[in-house]
Amino acid sequence: MAMTRGQLQDLVSKFATDNPKYRDALIKDPKGLLEKQLNASFPDNMQVKAVLETADTAYVVIPHTPGEGELDDADLEKVAGGKMDEYDASCDKAIGAGNTVTVLNL
């Protein structure tokens, strides 16, 4: 099962709250840390930014809206799977299945 951006954000927030070393690494190199943790690569042209909230400032992330001819996340997931789409390849049915997110001990 693919993780949504919201689920990923919730998970990263929990890790950053529970582990000060993770939080520091996330601030220093958010893209590198997430690529390592997810065992995946983001496109070279994609920026990943960490923004620190303070006691008196909260941020609202306004999601990207795809433009004309651009796929949204749901449509991209439909075409990105390739050959395995014709099989039941869900993680919960795999031998030794578990989370696809790696907990990093920093």
- Please give the pLDDT value at position 96: 41
Owner of token pair 């439909």: 78
- Position 1 confidence tier, pLDDT thresholds 50, 70, 90: low
Q: What is the pLDDT of residues 21-67, one digit of tens each?
A: 999 999 999 999 999 998 989 899 999 999 999 999 998 888 878 77
CA separation for the pair 5, 64 (Å, rounded): 12
CA separation for the pair 35, 26 (Å, rounded): 11
Q: State the sign of the Cα–Cα–Cα–Cα dihedral 64, 74, 8, 84.
A: negative
pTM above the 0.75 mark? no
CA separation for the pair 64, 88 (Å, rounded): 30
Give the HSE-up count for residue 48: Cα atoms under 13 Å, Cβ half-sphere: 17
